[in-house]
Amino acid sequence: MIRKILQVRPVILLFFVLLSAVALGNGLSEAVYSNYFKEVYNVTAFQRGLIEFPRELPGLLCVFIVSVLGFLGDIRVSFIAQILAFVGVIMLGMFTPAFGVMLIFLFINSMGMHLFIPLRDSICMALAEPDQIGRRMGQYSSIKSAFGFIAALIVFFGFRTGLFSFKTPVKWIFVVSAIFFACAMVVNAFMIRLVKPQKLASYKTKLVFRRQYGGYYILAILFGIQKQVTGVYGTWVIVDLLMKKTDTIALLSIVVGFACIFFMNLVGKWLDRFGIKRMMYIDAFSFIGVYAVYGLAVWGINSNILPGQGATVWLIYQLFVLDRLSLQINMVKSVYLRSIAQSEDDVTSTLSMGTSLYHVSSILAAIAGGYVWANWGSHWVFILGTVLSLGNLYVAYRVQPDNKEGLVEEVSSISAGAAL
């Protein structure tokens, strides 16, 4: 294993080290945000939803920012991303700022992370040998999962042993996260010296709304909603309703990370075996089923029909894990888009459009979810999630099965729009 690693070109090895450092830095901070907001700022469910606005807004803006900074090359833009991620999280660690100031630092950190997301695959493919792109992409996915898993272990043992705490003036979990981002900056700087600028991709971001890709747009919008129901309010059930601490969330994240190592390979095999249409049905029913049970369980707890302990808690834990596994099936949507795309340029522009729609729906869903939780009842967030996930079922129904290639008929219900 060590020999194989040493045989990798230095720049590829540096890139993998960069990915590892970013995965650790991001994993440490992302895993604790909900508990941080609750324990330090005592936020309500509605405020928790509002916090997602500065966290998700960079995802919408970065499409345009990457386009503007494209002349610098991917690796130089990546260096800027690491600086932003570092600055945002180190300020959260060294100080306990006022709520409004905290949102600014959160925005800066999120901008760095969202800026790096579209660059990862591009850099990997640009640096890989033409006949080894798939292999390198697979290695990248494995590294990301493995070090995300390690980050969850650090969070669990750190909070369980008292090494990390939100009651201290310095939030060491964020400081450690910042150290990994600083390491990523150093590695990124070495990569800038090693890689010729002309080898890097240039960006011409074009957002196009086409009628034939209506199904993909529906899925992108729904995924933005589902990610908030899962990531924000699924976690908030455990933090607020069951009043569990950071180490519990970390332990569940460890289970998810370990399961994903095997589950992602399984999803790929299922896709080859069953085709796009059947996998999209699995995707739809996984969200519908998990959200429906979530809604019933939360309603039972709120109505005192179910106890907030014992078997009910274990049920919520299982739903937490299953919900995040459901999100991993999202890769099917990209394969679906490629199967209906008329050209490679259409794939890029439609992915950009999908990213924008995803972040708009994500921001709106987070705010609306907080309002629903506070005024209608927490179980209604999951009930509405169940109803909206029927849209996944509709798109899956419209997919034409064709020798597992997943060739898709047009979704004629979406009107054509002008190019943005």
Apex CA 60: angle with CA 321 and CA 116, to 5°?
A: 70
Say how many residues make up the chain: 420
**Cβ–Cβ under 8 Å, residues 299 and 202:** no
Considering the four listed CATH numbers 1.20.1250.20, 1.10.10.10, 2.10.69.10, 1.20.1630.10, the one that applies to the domain covering 206-420 is 1.20.1250.20
Res. 270 pLDDT band, cuts 50 70 90: confident
- The fold adopted by the segment(s) 1-202 is Growth Hormone; Chain: A; (1.20.1250)
Indicate the domain borders of the chain: 1-202, 206-420
**Average pLDDT for the chain:** 81
% of the chain at pLDDT higher than 90: 29
The whole-number average pLDDT for the span 223-232 is: 88
Tell me the pLDDT band of 69, cut-offs 50, 70 and 90: confident
End-to-end Cα distance, the chain = 48
Q: Are the CB atoms for 80 and 108 separated by under 8 Å? A: no
Neighbour-count burial of 104, counting CB atoms closer than 10 A to its CB (0-12 exposed, 13-18 middle, 19+ buried): middle
Give dist(CA 63, CA 269) in Å, integer: 32
56, two tokens: 């998700």
Q: What is the pLDDT of residues 338-387, one digit of tens each?
A: 777 776 666 666 776 777 788 889 889 989 999 999 899 999 999 999 99
- Report the Cα 180 to chain-centroid distance in Å: 19
Of residues 125 and 272, the one with the higher pLDDT is 272
Indicate the burial class of 71 (C-beta count within 10 angstroms; 0-12, 13-18, 19 or more). exposed
pLDDT at 12: 78
Give the global pTM.
0.77
pLDDT at 24 over 90: yes
CATH topology identical between 1-202 and 206-420: yes
